[in-house]
C-alpha cells in the first residue's frame, strides 16, 4: 500500500500551446493515453482524484475505464482558473498531505517509484528533473543538492520542477497564481530527482514519443 493516501491529477486544462484541440491527458504516447499511464502506476494509492474541465466527458470516460473508483472533481471554470485552483477544489476536502501530478506529464516508472519510496522519509517532497522544457519552471537548490530553495524561469538553471510534489493542504490557496508560487513560503523543501517532463508543445510530444521508443537512458532533453 502506498504511504500516500490521496493523489490529485490535474486534467482540466486546454493545452492551447500544443494546438491539437484535445485534452493533453488523452494524447497517446506509445499506444496509451497519458492519463492511463498515471492511473495504472497509481493503482496502490487509496484515493485518486481527477480534476476535469476541458472535454470533461472524454476525460471522465477514460478515467473510469481504467480506475472505476477514481473520484471525479469538475472545474467548470477551467477557462479562467489555473492548476492551483483545480488542486484547491480537492485539497479543501483533505486533512493530510497528498500527491499532485499534472496529467500532461510523462514519467519514468522506475524513478517515480523511487520518488514514492522517499515519501516515507520526508513529509513534503518536490520532484525535479534534468529533462528540461522550453517553458518549464526551473529550481534553485542548496549547496548539498538536497533541497529546493527557490523557483525561477531562468533557463540557465539545469533542473526543472516536474509538477510532481507531496504537499500539505495548508500550501494550497484559492488564488490565481501558479502552484510553485504557493509553495514559495514553505521552502526549503526536500527534492527527489525523477525522469519526467510536461508535454506542452509539439517538440515535447516528439521527444516523449522518442523516449518511449528508445528509452529514457538513451535520450537527453535539451532546449
Q: Is the dihedral of CA 79, 87, 111, 48 positive or negative?
A: negative
> Residue 217: its pLDDT value, please?
79
Residue range 32-74, pLDDT digits in tens = 999 999 999 999 999 999 999 999 999 999 999 999 999 999 9
Gap between the Cα atoms of 46 and 130, Å rounded: 30
First-to-last C-alpha distance (Å) of the chain: 38
Please list the ranges in the chain whose pLDDT falls under 50: 221-223
Gap between the Cα atoms of 35 and 63, Å rounded: 7
CA dihedral 119, 132, 106, 146 (to 10 degrees): -10
What is the domain partition of the chain in residue ranges?
Answer: 6-218
pTM above 0.85, yes or no: yes
> Residue 223: its pLDDT value, please?
38
> Residue 220: its pLDDT value, please?
53
CATH assignment of 6-218? Answer: 3.90.550.10
> Residue 219: its pLDDT value, please?
67
Amino acid at each position: 500500500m502506498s504511504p500516500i493516501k490521496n493523489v490529485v491529477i490535474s486534467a482540466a486544462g486546454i493545452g492551447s500551446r500544443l494546438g491539437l484541440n484535445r485534452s493533453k491527458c488523452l494524447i497517446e504516447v506509445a499506444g496509451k493515453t497519458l492519463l492511463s499511464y498515471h492511473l495504472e502506476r497509481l493503482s496502490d494509492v487509496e484515493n485518486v482524484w481527477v480534476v476535469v474541465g476541458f472535454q470533461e466527458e472524454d476525460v471522465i470516460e477514460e478515467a473510469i475505464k481504467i480506475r472505476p473508483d477514481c473520484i471525479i472533481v469538475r472545474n467548470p471554470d477551467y477557462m479562467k482558473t489555473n492548476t492551483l485552483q483545480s488542486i484547491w477544489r480537492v485539497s479543501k476536502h483533505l486533512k493530510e498531505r497528498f500527491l499532485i501530478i499534472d496529467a500532461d506529464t510523462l514519467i519514468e516508472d522506475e524513478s517515480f517509484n523511487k520518488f514514492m519510496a522517499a515519501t516515507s522519509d520526508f513529509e513534503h517532497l518536490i520532484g525535479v528533473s534534468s529533462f528540461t522544457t522550453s517553458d518549464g519552471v526551473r529550481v534553485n537548490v542548496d549547496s548539498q543538492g538536497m533541497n529546493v530553495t527557490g523557483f525561477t524561469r531562468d533557463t540557465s538553471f539545469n533542473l526543472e520542477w516536474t509538477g510532481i510534489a507531496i504537499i500539505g493542504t495548508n500550501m494550497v490557496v484559492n488564488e490565481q497564481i501558479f502552484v510553485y508560487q504557493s509553495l514559495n513560503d514553505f521552502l526549503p523543501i526536500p527534492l527527489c530527482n525523477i525522469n519526467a517532463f510536461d508535454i506542452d508543445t509539439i517538440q515535447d510530444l516528439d521527444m516523449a514519443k522518442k523516449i518511449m521508443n528508445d528509452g529514457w537512458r538513451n535520450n537527453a532533453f535539451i532546449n
